[in-house]
Chains A and B, each alone.
Chain A
Amino acid sequence: MPATTKKPWPAQLGLALALVALMGALSLERPNFLTVANLVNLVRQISINGILAVGVTFVLLTGGVDLSLGSVVALTGVIAASFAHPGQATVLAPLAMGILAGACCGAANGLVVTRGRVAPFIVTLGTMTSARGLALLISHGRPVSNLGPAFARIGGGDFAGVPVPIVIFFLVALTAHVFLKNMRLGRRIYAVGGNENAARASGVHVGAVKTIAYVVSGSLAGLAGVVLASRITTGQPNAGIGYELDAIAAVVIGGTSLNGGVGGVGCAVLGALLIGVINNGLDLLNVSSYYQQVIKGLIIVGAVWLDRSKDRS
C-alpha cells in the first residue's frame, strides 16, 4: 500500500488553536457565548453542514468534487417529507427513502464520472440542476408540509438530553473516520486520490473506489436532507441552495486538499466547527449582515492561505 495515510494533524493543530483563541475572545466579549446552551446550539447548527462536509470529504479525497449536494438535500428532503405525513408517519420510511434517493444521485454521479470519463465538476453540476428540477417536479413547486410528529423528532428531538442532529452528526463522523483510517477500502480512497496510476498499478479498482466515494457523499447528503426537512418540518424544493459550497469550504478550511489524497474526517469536523463559531459569534455580536459576508469570505481564504504557506516553509 502507498504510504498516503500519513496523519495531517500538525497542520490542524494551528487551526484548532485558532478555534480555541476565537472562542476565548468571543466569550470575553459575550459572556453568554461559552454557556452549555449556546454550545449545544452551535453544534446543532453545524450538524447539517458537518454531515455534508464528512460526505464530500470522501469525494475530495479521490481528487473529485461534488457540486450536487445542495440540490440533493432539497430533493431528498422533499421525498422524505412526502413519506412523512401523519398516519403514514414512521421515522424509518422517510429516512430510508431519503438516504436511498441520495445514494442514487451519488451512484449516477460516480458512474458517469468513472465510466463516461466526464469531469466531476461537469457531472455534478448537471446533477445539481436536474436534482433541483426533480425536487420542484415532485413537490409541484410548493413546500411539502403537514408532517407527522414522529418525523419531526429526527431534527428537533433529544436523545438522552442531546439534540438528535448532533447525535447523528457524531455517529456519522465517527463511522467515517474509522472507515477511512482503518478499513482497506478507506485506505484505497486515499491511494486513488494520492496517485491514481500507482493505485491502479497496485491492483486497486479505481473506478469502483471512486463510485463508492460518490455514493457515500450522496447518501450522506440524503441523510442531511432528511434531518433538514425534519428540522424545518417541511420538505422545501428550494432548500439547500449553496450548501455544497459551505460544505466544501469547511472541508478545505480544515486542511483537506482539493487535489486529493490528503485530509480526513477530522478536517471536515474542524472546518465545520470554525464556520459555525464564526456564524454564531457574529450573530451574538450583532454584526451587520453586510459585514458578516465580507468577514466570512476573508476567513475562508485566510485560513487556507495560512495552511498552504505553512506547507511551503
Chain B
Amino acid sequence: MTHLELPSYLEQSENVRDRFSRLKERPVILEVKGLQKEFDTPQGRVTALKDINFKTHRREFVCVIGPSGCGKSTLIRILAGLENKTSGKVLLEGQEVSGPGPDRGMVFQGYTLFPWLTVKRNVMFGLEVSGQGKYIAEDEARQWIELVGLSKFENSYPHQLSGGMKQRVAIARALANQPRILLMDEPFGALDAQTRAKMQGYLMEIWKNIDITILFITHDLDEAIYLADRILVLKAHPGEVQELIEVPVPQPRSQDQLLTPEFLATKKRLEELIHPPVEEKEMNGDHMNMVRMVPVNDEVESVF
C-alpha cells in the first residue's frame, strides 16, 4: 500500500463538500460540551475522558474510533446516562440530560435481549414501559419486526436466533421507542465477518429511511469509514478528541467503495492516528522472545 499514490483524505469532491455544508446546517441533535470523566483507582485518580467537545446533526451518522483504553465505551455510556460524568454537559436538542431515558436508544455488543420474552415482547418492552396500551404496542412492535425482516420469528425466543438476528431485534427494540439518537456500542463486534458486512448494509438501509441520528462505536477502521459521515477519533491516556474526520467517500455507500482512493486515503489517515508506528514499542514491554527451534539440517529448513 505504501507505494500507492493516494490523495489527501481532506480532499473532497464537489458533491461531498456540498453535502457536508448542508449537513452542518441541520439542527443539532446531540451536543457534548467540555465532558470530563475521572475515576478513582487504587493507583490514584485517572482521567478517562478529557474535555470532549462535539456536535452531531440531525440524521447524521457519526462513528467513534480509537485505540483500546481511549474511553470510547465510557463516552457512550455517559451519553446513554448509564455512567456519571465528572464535569461538562450533554445536551440533547438543547436540553441537558442526566440518567438513562427512552430519548436515547442504546444497542449493546452483548445483544442484551430479555431471554424470557419472545422477539415480539422484547420489542414491545419499551412501548409498554412508556405506558402504551398492549394492543397499540403489539401493533407497533410488529411493524418494527417486519422492518428488520424477522416477522417469521416474532414468537421465537432470543436464544433461538443467530447473532445477527439477535442484534436486529435489539435495533428494532431500541428504534420502537422512537429515540432522537441511537447509541451503538460495538454492536457488530461479536459477529463473524460475513454477518457483520450484511448487518452494516441493513443498518445503512434503516438509517436512510428513518429519522434517526446514529452514534456508533467501533474499533474496525473499514466499518467506521463505510458507515460514517464523520469519524470522531479519540486518543488514549487520557481520552481526548484527536480529530473529527469528514469522510470523503460519497454517499450512498456500497461495498464496492472499499478500494476507492478516498476510502484508502481515509483509512491511511486513521491508521496513522490510531497505530502511530513509533509509540507502540515504547508503550509496552509486551513482546515475544522467539528463538529458532528447528534443527539447521531439518528437511523443511525454512518456511520460505
| Chains A and B bind each other | no
